[in-house]
Amino acid sequence: MDTDLLLTVGIVLLVLSVPSLLSAWVESRAPRMGAIMAVVALGMISAALIESPGGYTFEEVPGVVLKTVMRLFD
């Protein structure tokens, strides 16, 4: 899998896990699904950072995400 795609999907999953975590916290229940999503997302992000030849800087991340989304519409 492409490292740019791994990074993008990982970031999206991490953002989507936040509402699930907050909902579980507010309802006083175990945040199982949110925690699983967050762990998978962090694993994908770290795999992308490790496998990328030059790594990513914080300034590059928005461009990488935009490039990956634009590839989706080509």
- pTM of the prediction? 0.88
Question: Which of the four pLDDT bands, split at 50, 70 and 90, describes residue 5?
Answer: very high
* pLDDT at res. 53: 85
Question: Which of the four pLDDT bands, split at 50, 70 and 90, describes residue 54?
Answer: confident
Dist. CA 64–CA 48, nearest whole Å: 12
Where do the H-state alpha helices sit in 1-74? Answer: 3-26, 32-51, 61-73
Q: What percent of the chain has pLDDT over 70?
A: 99
